[in-house]
Amino acid sequence: MITLKEGDKAPAFSGKNQKGEKITLSDYKGKKLVLYFYPQDDTPTCTIQACNFRDNFSLLKQKGFEILGVSPDNEKSHQKFEAKFSLPFTLLADPAHTIIDKYGVWGEKQLYGRKYMGLHRTTFIIDEKGVIRKIFFRPKNKQHAEEIIKFWEQQ
């Protein structure tokens, strides 16, 4: 489970995006980053969350945020998800759970009384210096961009 807390330095990572390009945390140095972890491409709740970011992309950019989504899906799955919903931001493929484990978002879940291992939908807001400023453990998927902006403006 998540052992990181607000005020911690964000763990460094590198991974491949939907285009097969290497992306690292250091690529976002000097920028505010919305690093969001989601369970699976093209599933109902994940799609709602991604489309909320898409629909508010220009507003988030205007406020100085970059968006980076991470899931255990592979690059090809991310390509289809990006194309199907016209997503204007980067998706990182993490099928080996390298980044997912660094951020502690993989763990036991429960659905209808059945326990299983899975990804906990979590968003980290990382500031320009690489410090975690906010962790959303239960993002409001339909209003997540608004939730992030509201938090940042209250700082």
pLDDT in tens, 42-72: 999 999 999 999 999 999 999 999 999 999 9
Rounded distance between C-alpha atoms, residue 77 and residue 38, angstroms:
13
Residue at 57 is within a domain: yes
Residue at 8 is within a domain: yes
Average pLDDT, the chain: 96
- Please name the residue that has the structure tokens 């709602």: 48
**Domain count of the chain?**
1
Rounded distance between C-alpha atoms, residue 56 and residue 59, angstroms:
5
Report, as an integer, the average pLDDT of 120-136: 97
Confidence of residue 98 (pLDDT cuts 50, 70, 90): very high
| pTM (two decimals) | 0.96
- Please name the residue that has the structure tokens 């997540």: 144
Range of the domain at 3: 1-21+39-137
Residue at 92 is within a domain: yes
pLDDT at 118: 94
Residue at 131 is within a domain: yes
Residue among 34, 46, 87, 148 flagged as catalytic: 46
Residue at 75 is within a domain: yes
pLDDT at 111: 84
CATH, residue 1: 3.40.30.10
Q: Supply 94's token pair.
A: 């993490």
pLDDT at 12: 97
- Model confidence at 92: pLDDT above 80: yes
Is position 46 annotated as part of the catalytic site? yes
Residue at 152 is within a domain: no
